[in-house]
Structure 1
Amino acid sequence: MKKHVELERKIEWFKKYYPHGLRIKVVISKEGGYQGMLEYIPGEFAHRPVDADGYMFIHCIFVGFRKEFKGRGMASLLLDECIKEARDKKMLGVAVVTRKGPFMAGNDIFLNKGFQIVDSAEPDFDLLVKKFDDESENPQFKANMDECLTEYSNGLTILRSVQCPYTEKNVNSIVESAQNKFKLKTNLIDLEDVKAVKNTPCAFGSFCLIYNGEILSYHPISKTRFENIMKKIIK
């Protein structure tokens, strides 16, 4: 933990939200050890800009740290555990945000489990839900995401939450590069609670890179990627 600050902060975040129903399930192979994880939490505490009260909400899922373990049904196994827990707790169903681009799970695995797309957000995010009762109200993205963006119309801003440990990685080097290479002072905002996350302009919720009111990245990026983007903007 001394070497990886993001791990220490993630553990503290986990302790904070565990009493509210946050859970992380892992799948372990006898041959390959730890091969996947699923993180979920009741929707009112979801670290995404969504209205999903009453639903279990999936933050992230990843399986197959070694490619020979991909395609073995591990993701399906993890999803079954989440769905079962939501049913046992008499919740309305299970919801998740996906995207067609990088860094988040795509739709396929959820569609195969009976999820349906009920809302979308720019540029390529979908909100999916598996409802236990068709009469239940659908979850939805927050309606004011574009309005939230106007708050960051001047200069460079990074929004981040420790929900995603990757938001710690590379941020310091981006801030340094912005200052030294582009003469930009970065407004670095740590999203400290659910309310702050739900009022972000980006559907990912846990990270957003903004310059003069325009979103440059919806997910954590490297210093090199940041510099390549800025070179096209600042000439």
Structure 2
Amino acid sequence: MNIITVSKENIEEEHICCAISNNKDCQVASKKAWMLERFEDGLIFKKGDFRGKCFIEYIPAEKAWAPIEAKGYMYINCFWVSGQLKGKGYSNQLLEECIKDSREKGKSGLVILSSQKKIPFLADPVYLKHKGFRTVDIAEPYYELMYLPFSEESHKPFFKQSVHESKVNSSGFVLYYTNQCPFTAKYVPLIEEAAKEKGIDFQTIHINSMLEAQNAPAPFTSYSLFYKGKFLTNEILSVKKFEKILSTLSPS
């Protein structure tokens, strides 16, 4: 597999893997707009030279849209190889490329958000442990901050206090989200409309800046849904999945 680095020079021509290819689609447009603003912060997006979910996206941790303290590290936003592309060594190739690039930039290591077990939209902890990553901090209900230090002398990253306090004052639903994940552009409005039709107390908080993201109440800033102040899920919900959640709650 040849690896392509997506940049502001080629982003309009390149398929960004996790959304459909039509640049006019709201998902593609929102993701590419978010990426264009982050390139100046050092965002790197590397992908296989074909269509499909096969990419790794990372950024200096000081600029990450995540409530972490990891000065000198590189933070992996998203790392995804799926479907028929699995089992071909592409994950290893992308990770090795990230490690090489981060070492050349003088970083202390890599940091990534994972979980106690495999959960949608979070990196696979089994694979990461196999590659030498270690859990360095945890946050309720299942988040794990994992790191791969390039030296045993490297300091340990950790979650910010906002994650452990996780104060969301509302008697209904509150959804925090960013445009870092393309799927929010499509599914957040659908959930908003479904809640409105049902007369449900539903508030969305669109995180629009790095500073807001770095002080968010949940580690996964792309999408975090709360109900009555309690975290529910980081999975980007379809209307059907949202209705399934409603069937188990009493939102009135």
Q: TM-score, normalised by structure 1?
A: 0.90
Instruction: Map residues 98-117 of structure 1 onto 2, 5 A cutoff.
Output: 98-99=114-115, 100=117, 101-117=119-135
Q: Say yes or no: does 1:204 pair with 2:225.
A: no
- Equivalent position to 2:209, from 174, 188, 193: 193
* Superposition pairs of residues 80-229 of structure 1, within 5 angstroms: 80-99=96-115, 100=117, 101-150=119-168, 152-181=169-198, 183-229=199-245
* Count of residues in correspondence between the two structures: 228
Q: Does 1:59 align with 2:77?
A: yes
Identity %: 34
Q: Quote how far apart the aligned CAs of 1:164 are.
A: 1.1
Letter in 1 for 2:90: M
Unaligned runs of 5+ in 2: 1-21
Large movers: runs of 4+ above 3 Å = none
- Shift in Å, 1:103: 2.2
**In 2, distance between residues paired with 1:187 and 1:22?**
30
Q: What is the alpha-carbon distance in structure 2 between the residues aligned to residue 164 and residue 39 of structure 1? A: 11
On the 8 A contact 2:166/2:218 being kept in 1, the answer is: no
Q: CA RMSD in A?
A: 1.8
Shift of 1:35: 5.2
Distance in structure 1 (CA, Å) of the matches to 2:228 and 2:184: 21
Q: How do 1:25-64 and structure 2 match up within 5 A?
A: 25-28=46-49, 34=52, 36-64=54-82
What letter matches 1:121 in structure 2? A
TM-score normalised per structure 2 = 0.84
SS at match of 1:62: strand
Q: What CA distance in whole angstroms lies between the structure 1 residues aligned with 2:114 and 2:164?
A: 19
Q: C-alpha distance in 2, partners of 1:172/1:80?
A: 37
- Between the aligned partners of 1:138 and 1:205, the Cα distance in structure 2 is 21
Q: 1:77 aligns with which of 75, 78, 93?
A: 93
Provide, for residues 87-134 of structure 1, a one-character-per-residue CA deviation record: whole Å limited to 9, x for no partner. Answer: 101111111111222222211222222211111112221111111121
